[in-house]
């Protein structure tokens, strides 16, 4: 795959100083533009035209849009480790991946998990090992700095479990010093605690193959030692004290010890049947393009598990899986040579529906060929068969859309709501086909409501507390609870579908109002962070008929005004997930400024100084080609633990905001409202 040119390929720099969150501001060039309504509208119109042309030029011939999805170098490192484990690592891939990994290293030798973020131990360990595979010598200055920092941070022993699993594959860490994950857990019934359906779909797809890896405990010959990454090479895994039995940590530590004993005495016949059942579960969930769930982590572990169970590299399942991983690679040419970045996932459905919304709201005619082509592609992507979501909703007819090119097992509630909103903006030549797809998807989405009245991304009522307590689960979310942003998108969709007064919609609204933070904002699960959550909720409340005078709306407006940066934009650092002092604070970005504007416009604030200054910031920071620059990560995989830079966010959301500023409330082509 060829990379798009997004302007963020350079080495990382330090995080810019956080902007003040006080309402007062210094005078900036944007203030002069904001103070002249006629000039501001002209500038907004020009920016909208440029952004529209830029986005139209990026549409694929088939009708979709897809921006690069950038995460962190662990994706690239683990891809090289997988290929080393399978014996298929080639020099060209290794060299190109190493160039990308080096370009993301800080001067102190470390690697972060997001642009400008703090150094991360596990990312630094994995990147270091990958560069060793590429031939970088440990005495090289950039490697020596990395190793010294790792040792000072506690060494490999302090890295997360997943990092140590990768190292165990080559004997750099002992399997005995990792949490046990028995394959027999695939036999646990759906009502039993810690059955595989208690985990979120992304965790479930990763855990099942890892049970096979944990049972097999493979070790490939290490190509080099890693003593320099241990604080004490003679004692790499110091014993950890047991937590008291009064809490879950102590209980699960002792359960893990019991499972290690079970590993030694597990009946061979039962274990063989369990691993075969796990293999069947894995193979049944491979998508038509060879991937698993449309995301990279389950794919790499599934390939390792199946290979350990006797699937050779020429087996159709293995061959298709490896080919799918190759399609996750983004190549670009740099002066020093080809550079290869691995995407954790691909987002064409999400990008296409957001691009369609942006272009329609910017004034593109509803029957414009680009919009009709996009609608045709989205209609072709509709999922009409059941998946794992049916475990909790067995009688619900299927309908909806996934996030990726291929992921029929896990349609996404968030994507489905936004696709419906996008389709309703298009005057399609076959309205009956469009209406039928929307009806199926809206019914499915409504039926995926959790018991508390809200919606999650993939499953209903996936809210158990035990999965997050397992010693194995020390990285990211492993459950899929409802969130304000997803619930808001569903409420907005249902309202535009004429269901604003439906009991399901009303329960969703009540949940949203109850979830508002004391400061007036809403938490953002899938985008950074309170700016995203608030930017999702206010348009939903407006669509559902909640008046702009409602106290919750006024509190949110006041919070957004207080969070505006001196330059007129908005930004929020990912550290707000881990440190509340960062809430609403960060360098201004195009996507976050757009989210704030979309929220304020929905709240009736078009003529406010706050909105005018935000629009002026977007107009003045736009590039000549109609794009915006945004190196900062504003997408969320796991809050704090795994962050995303959606390279199309800085194009679609500013265009949506500018379009709504110029044209008002979006026009949806449904006679139901």
Q: What is the CATH number of the domain that holds 447?
A: 1.50.10.20
Alpha helices in 364-483 (DSSP H): 369-380, 413-423, 431-447
The reply to whether 12 falls in a domain is: no
Q: How far is 58 from 64, CA to CA, in rounded Å?
A: 9
Predicted local distance difference test score (pLDDT) of residue 531:
98
246, 382: one domain: no
Alpha helices in 362-502 (DSSP H): 369-380, 413-423, 431-447, 484-494
First and final C-alpha spacing in the chain? 42
Q: Which of 79, 414, 480, 641 is catalytic?
A: 414
284, 138: one domain: yes
Range of the domain at 482: 347-515
310, 406: one domain: no
The reply to whether 402 falls in a domain is: yes
What φ, ψ does residue 42 adopt, rounded to 5°? -65, -45
Alpha helices in 362-404 (DSSP H): 369-380
Structural element, H or E, at residue 643: strand 642-646
Burial of 433 (0-12, 13-18, 19+ CB in 10 A): middle
Q: How far is 313 from 322, CA to CA, in rounded Å?
A: 9
Predicted local distance difference test score (pLDDT) of residue 17:
34
Predicted local distance difference test score (pLDDT) of residue 10:
35
454, 560: one domain: no
Burial of 152 (0-12, 13-18, 19+ CB in 10 A): exposed
The reply to whether 13 falls in a domain is: no
459, 556: one domain: no
The reply to whether 647 falls in a domain is: yes
Q: How far is 607 from 4, CA to CA, in rounded Å?
A: 37
Alpha helices in 88-243 (DSSP H): 91-103, 121-133, 141-152, 161-168, 201-216
User: pTM here?
Assistant: 0.93
* Nearest Cα to Cα of residue 587 among 622, 620, 533, 632: 632
Predicted local distance difference test score (pLDDT) of residue 21:
37
Burial of 429 (0-12, 13-18, 19+ CB in 10 A): exposed
Secondary structure (3-state) at 44: helix
* Tokens (6 digits) for 286: 């491979």
113, 45: one domain: no
Q: How far is 163 from 126, CA to CA, in rounded Å?
A: 7
Predicted local distance difference test score (pLDDT) of residue 263:
94
* Tokens (6 digits) for 255: 């359960």
Q: Which residues contact 84 (CB under 8 A, 6 or more apart)?
A: 133, 170, 220, 223
What φ, ψ does residue 219 adopt, rounded to 5°? -140, 120
* Nearest Cα to Cα of residue 485 among 441, 544, 528, 421: 528
**Which bin fits 63, alpha (ψ -120 to 50), beta or left (φ > 0)?**
left
The reply to whether 99 falls in a domain is: yes
Number of domains, the chain: 3
494, 515, 536: which is the final residue of a domain?
Answer: 515
Q: What is the CA radius of gyration of the chain?
A: 25
Q: How far is 40 from 15, CA to CA, in rounded Å?
A: 30
Q: Which residues of 20-38 are buried (b: 16+ CB within 10 A; e: fewer)?
A: ebeeebeebebbebbeeee
The reply to whether 644 falls in a domain is: yes
Give, in degrees to the nearest 5, the angle at Cα 222 between 219 and 228: 120
480 classed as catalytic: no
Predicted local distance difference test score (pLDDT) of residue 4:
39
Structural element, H or E, at residue 552: helix 551-563
The reply to whether 532 falls in a domain is: no
Predicted local distance difference test score (pLDDT) of residue 33:
78
Alpha helices in 25-86 (DSSP H): 29-34, 37-57, 74-86
Burial of 565 (0-12, 13-18, 19+ CB in 10 A): buried
Judge contact between 616 and 30, C-beta under 8 A. yes
389, 275: one domain: no
Q: How far is 594 from 555, CA to CA, in rounded Å?
A: 19
Instruction: Give CA torsion, residues 598, 366, 416, 618, to 10 deg.
Output: -30
328, 386: one domain: no
507, 401: one domain: yes
318, 335: one domain: yes
The reply to whether 329 falls in a domain is: yes
496, 515, 534: which is the final residue of a domain?
Answer: 515
319, 342, 365: which is the final residue of a domain?
Answer: 342
Report the chain (673 residues): mean pLDDT per 10 consecutive residues.
38 34 52 78 97 98 97 97 96 97 97 96 98 97 98 96 96 95 94 93 94 96 95 84 80 88 94 97 94 91 97 96 95 95 96 98 97 98 96 96 93 98 97 97 98 97 88 82 98 97 98 98 97 98 97 98 98 96 97 98 97 97 96 95 95 98 87 41
User: Length of the chain, please?
Assistant: 673
388, 334: one domain: no
Predicted local distance difference test score (pLDDT) of residue 24:
43
328, 369: one domain: no
């Amino acid at each position: 795959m060829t990379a798009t040119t997004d302007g963020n390929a350079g080495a990382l720099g330090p995080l810019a100083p956080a902007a003040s969150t006080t309402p007062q501001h210094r005078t900036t060039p944007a203030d002069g533009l904001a103070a002249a309504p006629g000039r501001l509208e002209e500038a907004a119109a020009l920016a909208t035209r440029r952004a529209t042309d830029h986005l139209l030029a990026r549409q694929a011939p088939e009708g979709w849009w897809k921006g690069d999805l950038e995460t962190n170098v662990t994706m690239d490192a683990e891809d090289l480790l997988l290929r080393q484990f399978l014996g298929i690592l080639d020099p060209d891939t290794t060299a190109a991946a190493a160039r990308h990994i080096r370009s993301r290293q800080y001067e102190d030798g470390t690697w972060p998990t997001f642009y400008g973020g703090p150094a991360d131990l596990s990312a630094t360990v994995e990147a270091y090992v990958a560069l060793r595979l590429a031939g970088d010598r440990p005495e090289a200055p950039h490697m020596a700095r990395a190793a010294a920092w790792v040792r000072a941070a506690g060494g490999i022993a302090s890295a997360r479990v997943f990092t140590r699993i990768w190292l165990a594959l080559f004997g750099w860490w002992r399997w005995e010093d990792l949490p046990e994950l028995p394959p027999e857990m695939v036999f646990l019934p759906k009502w039993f605690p810690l059955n595989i359906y208690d985990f979120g779909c992304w965790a479930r797809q990763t855990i099942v193959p890892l049970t096979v890896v944990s049972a097999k405990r493979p070790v490939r010959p290490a190509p080099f030692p890693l003593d320099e990454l241990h604080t004490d090479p003679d004692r790499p895994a110091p014993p950890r004290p047991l937590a008291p039995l009064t809490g879950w940590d102590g209980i699960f530590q002792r359960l893990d010890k019991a499972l290690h004993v079970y590993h030694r005495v597990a009946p061979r016949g039962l274990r063989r049947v369990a691993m075969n059942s796990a293999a069947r579960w894995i193979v049944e969930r491979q998508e038509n393009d060879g991937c698993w769930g449309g995301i990279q982590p389950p794919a790499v572990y599934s390939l390792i598990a199946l290979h350990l169970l006797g699937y050779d590299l020429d087996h159709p399942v293995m061959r298709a899986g490896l080919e799918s991983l190759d399609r996750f690679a983004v190549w670009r040419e740099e002066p020093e040579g080809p550079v290869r970045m691995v995407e954790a996932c691909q987002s064409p459905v999400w990008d296409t529906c957001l691009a369609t919304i942006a272009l329609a709201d910017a004034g593109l005619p509803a029957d414009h060929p680009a919009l009709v082509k996009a609608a045709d592609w989205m209609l072709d992507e509709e999922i009409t068969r059941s998946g794992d979501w049916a475990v909790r909703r067995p009688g619900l007819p299927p309908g909806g859309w996934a996030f990726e090119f291929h992921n029929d097992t896990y349609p996404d509630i968030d994507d489905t709501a936004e696709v419906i909103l996008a389709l309703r903006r298009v005057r399609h030549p076959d309205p009956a086909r469009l209406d039928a797809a929307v009806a199926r998807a809206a019914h499915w989405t409504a039926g995926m409501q959790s018991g508390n009245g809200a919606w999650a991304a993939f499953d209903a009522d996936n809210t158990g507390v035990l999965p997050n307590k397992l010693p194995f689960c020390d990285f990211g979310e492993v459950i899929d609870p409802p969130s304000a942003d997803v619930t808001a998108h569903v409420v907005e969709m249902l309202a535009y579908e004429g269901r604003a007064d439906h009991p399901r919609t009303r329960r969703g609204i009540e949940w949203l109002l109850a979830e508002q933070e004391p400061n007036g904002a809403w938490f953002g699960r899938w985008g950074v962070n309170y700016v995203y959550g608030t930017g999702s909720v206010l348009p939903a409340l407006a669509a559902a008929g909640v008046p702009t005078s409602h106290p919750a709306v006024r509190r949110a407006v006041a919070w957004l005004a207080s969070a505006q940066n001196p330059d007129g934009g908005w930004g929020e650092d990912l550290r707000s997930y881990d440190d509340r002092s960062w809430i609403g604070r960060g360098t201004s970005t195009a996507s976050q400024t757009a989210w704030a504007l979309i929220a304020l416009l929905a709240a009736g604030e078009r003529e406010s100084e706050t909105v005018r200054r935000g629009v002026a910031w977007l107009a003045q920071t736009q590039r000549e080609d109609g794009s915006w620059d945004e190196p900062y990560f504003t997408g969320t995989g796991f809050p704090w633990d795994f962050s995303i830079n959606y390279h199309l966010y800085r194009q679609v959301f500013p265009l949506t905001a500018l379009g709504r500023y110029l044209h008002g409330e979006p026009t949806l082509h449904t006679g139901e409202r």
